[in-house]
Structure formats: structure tokens, C-alpha cells
Amino acid sequence: MQNIEIGTIDKLIVHQVGNKTNDEGTRFADFATDFSAIEQELKHLIVGNFKFDELFNFYFSTTLDLNPIYQFVSSIFETKGSFVEQSQFCARYLYDKSTHPKVKGGELCVLYIRDCKVDGMITDAIAFIKSENKETVLKVSPSESSFSIHPEKGININKLDKGCIIFNLNKEKGFVAAIVDQTNRSTEAQYWREDFFGIQPIKNEFHQTNEFLSIAKKFVTNQLPEDFEVSKTDQIGFLNRSVEYFKSHDSFDKQEFEEEVFAETSVIESFRKFDTNYRVDNEVELMDRFEISDQAVKKQAKVFKNVLKLDRNFDIYIKGNRKLIEQGIEADGRKFYKIYYDIES
């Protein structure tokens, strides 16, 4: 995690942005919003939802200056007096990109934040928050001799639908940004990160570690069974060794990883072919040597499954020596696993 602290909220403006395909239209504010009564809640919304493990920067296929949001944000940083106008440009551009039929309309909040700290440096930031889902709360109001209760819809300050915060650092490289997107479906989600902002991961140690572990997992899970006869326990063994390599080393060496994890020449060659094709197909640029990010390892380890699910009766977690479990078939066709151990607890 980067050492990032959110500073003081200086300005806030709210615009309504609908779905363009559904012809929902827009509604732009002409003045900044008074947020004095909700300043702490706004800061809680930002601090509680943004994670700074993976950072991003703006890009464009030809030249960075042609990225619209990069230009709008640059103008605000250069001239704070343009905040309202540039935020309207951002909202209009978001509307133009909200064309997927399932993209939800909502309020787009743009905030200017002063005196943030990024690795000890003081800088300003611009945050975008889009609220798409309202939650119902019960409001209790006192009356003369009793209380009345009625429902109200509002924004959950503990859960942010979509967000992006851009720090005024490294402008020439596309600034430094963090993003939040709770949408899981890739087609609907890409409009926020790619179509609207046009940002990509900064190729630091977190990105390198995260991407390579993802490639290793995809190979073991999908490609390895296509090329070789492997059992589920074999696959879990490869996954465990992959994670263990990253946990036990400070720096990554691709050749060393292949030899320690896959060992056999034929498996290594299969992995190298898969790795090369994956990088080309997905336009992924990775180095063969890099410093390992502990945060990325922890993130990926959560999705590296090491459990065998046997019917609905047993779950077997394999955390260590793969050779201590054997698989077989009885004469009547029933399958079994034999497990060796020293201590029962």
C-alpha cells in the first residue's frame, strides 16, 4: 500500500448524469455545493472505499494530451477558478460514454481536495464519485407526543459505487490515480475506467506481481489440464508452489520461478508458450525480473484455491506436501483419497 493520506475537501459540485442510450439526459449544476454539514461523511466515503495498493495513470492511444479527462483535470489543477466549468465538461463526457443499456444513471460528485500526502509529498487531488444505487433508511422524527417513522432513499457512505481520485503528481506521465468500481460485469465496468477516464495500471511492483500471479493461475487452472494428465491435487500443488515462491522471495526471476514451481521441461515449455500468447492477446507488458509486492501476493493468495470438494460430504484443504495425499478407485468404481499425517489436532 502506498503511503497516502487524504487532505481537506475544498470544493464540491454535483451533476446528474443519465444513460445516453435510454435518453435519460443530464442536469448540470452552475455553482459549487455547500458541503459544510456533511464534510466528515464525504471524507469517510473516500477514505473508507479507496485502496491505494494498485495505482493508475491516464493514457491515450496516440498522445496523452488527447485524453479528455486528463485535459479537464489538468485545467482544474492549473486554474482552480475553472472548477465548475471543467466539472461540467467531465459530466457531459461521462454522459457521452454512458451508452451501454445497463449502465445506471446517477449523481456525479466532483471534489477538489487540498493538502493530500503521497509518500511524504504534499499535493492536491480531484475526486470523482458516482452514486448509482440508493439505499432505503428509516428516519425517525419526534412529534408532539410520539414519533413518526418514514422511509428515505439516500447514498450509503460506507459503500461507494464508482470513484476515482487523481493526485497532482507526475503530470507528464498521466498523473497518479486510484479507482473504485463495484460493477463486476466487465462490459459495463469498462466504461468507467477505460472509456470515461482512460486510465491504466502503473507498471510498478504491485502490477508486475499481480499480473504474473494471475497468468500462473490461469495456466494451471485452464491450460495445464489441456496439455497434460493432471489431477486436481496436482493443480493445487502447482498453485501452492506458485504462491509460496512469491511469499518466500523478495525479488522475482522468471526462470527461477519456472524451475522451482513447474520443474519438468515439458511443463515449463507449455507455460512459456501460454505466457507469451497471453501477453500478446491481452497487451500485457511484464518484466522477467522485478521486486515482489507483498500486497499483491496477499491479494492473489485469496483467489488461489487449495481445496478439494468431494461431492457434498468433504472439503480437503491442501496446504503443504502434495505427496502426502493419494488418489485411487475401488473395485466397485468408488473414488477415494488416502491422506498421510503425523499429528491430529
With cut-offs at 50, 70 and 90, classify the pLDDT of residue 330: confident
- For 62-217, list the strands marked E by DSSP: 106-118, 121-131, 135-142, 147-154, 162-167, 176-181, 199-201
Q: For 150, phi and psi rounded to 5 degrees?
A: -145, 150
Structure-model confidence comparison of residues 341 and 218, the more confident one: 218
Is it the case that residue 75 has pLDDT exceeding 70? Answer: yes
Cell, residue 245? 515462491
Q: In this predicted structure, what is the pLDDT of residue 309?
A: 74
With cut-offs at 50, 70 and 90, classify the pLDDT of residue 84: very high
Is it the case that residue 316 has pLDDT exceeding 90? Answer: no
Tally the C-alpha atoms within 13 A of residue 121's C-alpha that lie toward its C-beta: 11
Cell, residue 181? 468500481
Give the separation between CA 259 and CA 248, rounded to whole angstroms.
Answer: 15
Mean pLDDT, residues 124-140:
92
Give the separation between CA 96 and CA 265, rounded to whole angstroms.
Answer: 52
DSSP designation for 262: T
Contact 84, 99 (CB under 8 A): no
Is it the case that residue 22 has pLDDT exceeding 70? Answer: yes
Q: Where are the alpha helices (DSSP H) in 14-67?
A: 39-49
Mean pLDDT of the chain: 90
Give the separation between CA 289 and CA 252, rounded to whole angstroms.
Answer: 5
Residue the block writes with cell 507455460: 271
With cut-offs at 50, 70 and 90, classify the pLDDT of residue 122: very high
CA 55 from centroid of its chain's CA atoms: 9
With cut-offs at 50, 70 and 90, classify the pLDDT of residue 184: low
Is it the case that residue 83 has pLDDT exceeding 90? Answer: yes
Q: For 267, phi and psi rounded to 5 degrees?
A: -70, -40
Q: For 134, phi and psi rounded to 5 degrees?
A: -100, 145
Contact 279, 201 (CB under 8 A): no
> 3-class SS at 324?
helix
Is it the case that residue 308 has pLDDT exceeding 90? Answer: no
> 3-class SS at 21?
coil
Give the separation between CA 127 and CA 110, rounded to whole angstroms.
Answer: 6
Give the separation between CA 9 and CA 19, rounded to whole angstroms.
Answer: 29
Is it the case that residue 211 has pLDDT exceeding 90? Answer: yes
One DSSP character per residue, 66-93 reads G-HHHHHHHHHHH-GGGHHHHHHHHHHH
